[in-house]
């Protein structure tokens, strides 16, 4: 950690903010743990509370783990509105940059982020550390350097933020992220972390799951399951993670119908060239939202668009067709000469 730089930044930040300023912290849509934890860390660093420094986002938190986190750690994210934001003395952005919002956010005074690809020199205070795995790491460095007390709640939030942005310290993680994580470790509350990690499954889901497990078939290292109608997105994701644990499994595709959409979660063990994110973009980019990383990806396709392209609607047919698509897709991925890469403007998870 570069303490001299961080110390300088803290000085700049504190000089910019007047005691009487009302500050709005604006987060990316559907805020994630890194964003939420960074927001409450900024508040702590500036010695503020939720009245003087509220947190906003244009769309609410939706992922169940993130909702659980917000609930257990008492992080309130209010709906943002351009007009209302104008009334604040300062606008801060953490884990996101002005370019993300376009005209929706009237001004930006403070930007702390780790995402690449945005122009600098837009806001009076900027600290963008593109190499970092999480904004929560930057915020932890601020708090440590400023010798601020890190409460149990804040430590738990920041640790969860770092962990979720780096997939448990396995993706895009730097020494700095690990150092911050280790610092937070003794301060965090493990009981709360466990509660955030393992959201309860609805009891009626047991039946859906048992039907799916009965059909489970491993072919070419690939498991494909279509769950039919599910009530929550994370049920699809949890089953995908679960199936990846079976012996001999290299790829898992779990899909379900959530409201009007077909949601497809993809996992792999990351061997060879195969890239889950590229694969879902290639398979579903034309009819829905698809993206992700090497080892995990997701597609959300309106059922109507799926029907128009695939002409299959019965559960067994959907499962069969998904297997066909992915079997072909994975074999295609393994052949480097066939590796088309399609660009996308989706940020993907994280
Ligand atoms: Mn982040």
Q: Which residues contact 324 (CB under 8 A, 6 or more apart)?
A: none
User: Distance, CA 63 to ligand 1 centroid (Å)?
Assistant: 15
Which residue do the tokens 């509105």 mark? 81
User: Distance, CA 35 to ligand 1 centroid (Å)?
Assistant: 6
Least Cα distance to 229 among 217, 214, 211 occurs for 211
pLDDT digits (tens, 9 = 90+) for 46-97: 999 999 999 999 999 988 889 999 999 999 999 999 999 999 999 999 999 9
Q: Per-residue confidence at 43, pLDDT binned at 50, 70, 90?
A: very high
User: Distance, CA 38 to ligand 1 centroid (Å)?
Assistant: 9
Rounded Cα distance, 8 and 30, in Å: 32
pLDDT score of 160 more than 70: yes
Q: In this predicted structure, what is the pLDDT of residue 151?
A: 96
Q: Per-residue confidence at 272, pLDDT binned at 50, 70, 90?
A: low
DSSP string, 132-201: -S-HHHHHHHHHHHTT----HHHHHHHHHHHHHHTTTTTSS--HHHHHHHHHHGGGS-HHHHHHHHSPPP
User: Distance, CA 134 to ligand 1 centroid (Å)?
Assistant: 5
Query: For all residues of the chain together, what is the average pLDDT?
Result: 91
pTM given for the model: 0.67
Q: In this predicted structure, what is the pLDDT of residue 274?
A: 78
User: Distance, CA 327 to ligand 1 centroid (Å)?
Assistant: 32
Exposed, middle or buried: residue 182 (CB in 10 Å: 0-12, 13-18, 19+)?
A: exposed
Dihedral sign from CA coordinates of 151, 41, 166, 78: positive
Q: Per-residue confidence at 338, pLDDT binned at 50, 70, 90?
A: very low
User: Distance, CA 326 to ligand 1 centroid (Å)?
Assistant: 30
User: Distance, CA 322 to ligand 1 centroid (Å)?
Assistant: 31
User: Distance, CA 151 to ligand 1 centroid (Å)?
Assistant: 21
Where is average pLDDT lowest: 145-149, 272-276, 346-350? Answer: 346-350
Q: Per-residue confidence at 336, pLDDT binned at 50, 70, 90?
A: very low
Give all domains of the chain, ordered by start, each with its CATH number: 3-197 (3.90.1640.10), 205-338 (3.10.310.30)
Least Cα distance to 35 among 59, 8, 2 occurs for 59
Which tokens hold the place of 309? 């392209």
Q: In this predicted structure, what is the pLDDT of residue 306?
A: 97
Rounded Cα distance, 45 and 22, in Å: 15
For range 180-185, the mean pLDDT: 95
């Amino acid at each position: 950690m570069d303490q001299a730089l961080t110390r300088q930044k803290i000085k700049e930040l504190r000089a910019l903010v007047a005691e009487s300023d009302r500050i709005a912290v604006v987060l990316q849509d559907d805020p994630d743990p890194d964003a939420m934890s960074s927001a409450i860390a900024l508040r702590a660093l500036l010695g503020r509370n939720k009245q003087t420094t509220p947190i906003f986002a244009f769309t609410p938190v939706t992922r169940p783990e993130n909702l659980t986190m917000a609930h257990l750690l008492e992080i309130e994210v209010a709906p943002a509105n351009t007009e209302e934001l104008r009334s604040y003395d300062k606008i801060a952005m953490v884990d996101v940059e002005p370019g993300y919002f376009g005209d929706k956010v009237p001004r930006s005074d403070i930007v702390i982020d780790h995402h690449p690809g945005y122009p600098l020199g837009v806001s009076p205070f900027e600290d963008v550390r593109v190499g970092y795995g999480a904004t929560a790491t930057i915020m932890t460095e601020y708090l440590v350097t400023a010798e601020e007390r890190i409460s149990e709640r804040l430590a738990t939030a920041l640790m969860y933020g770092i962990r979720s942005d780096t997939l448990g310290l396995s993706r895009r993680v730097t020494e700095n992220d690990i150092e911050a994580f280790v610092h937070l470790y003794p301060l965090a509350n493990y009981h709360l972390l466990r509660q955030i990690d393992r959201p309860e499954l609805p009891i009626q889901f047991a039946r859906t799951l048992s039907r799916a497990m009965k059909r489970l078939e491993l072919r070419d290292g690939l498991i494909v399951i279509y769950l039919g109608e599910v009530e929550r997105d994370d049920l699809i994701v949890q089953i995908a993670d679960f199936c990846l644990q079976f012996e001999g499994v290299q790829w898992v595709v779990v899909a379900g119908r959530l409201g009007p959409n077909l949601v497809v979660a993809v996992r792999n063990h990351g061997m060879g060239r195969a890239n889950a994110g590229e694969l879902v973009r290639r398979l579903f980019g034309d009819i829905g939202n698809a993206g992700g990383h090497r080892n995990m990806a997701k597609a959300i396709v309106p059922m109507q668009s799926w029907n128009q392209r695939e002409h299959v609607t019965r559960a067994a047919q959907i499962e069969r067709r998904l297997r066909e698509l992915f079997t072909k897709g994975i074999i295609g991925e393994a052949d480097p000469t066939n590796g088309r890469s399609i660009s996308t403007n989706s940020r993907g998870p994280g």
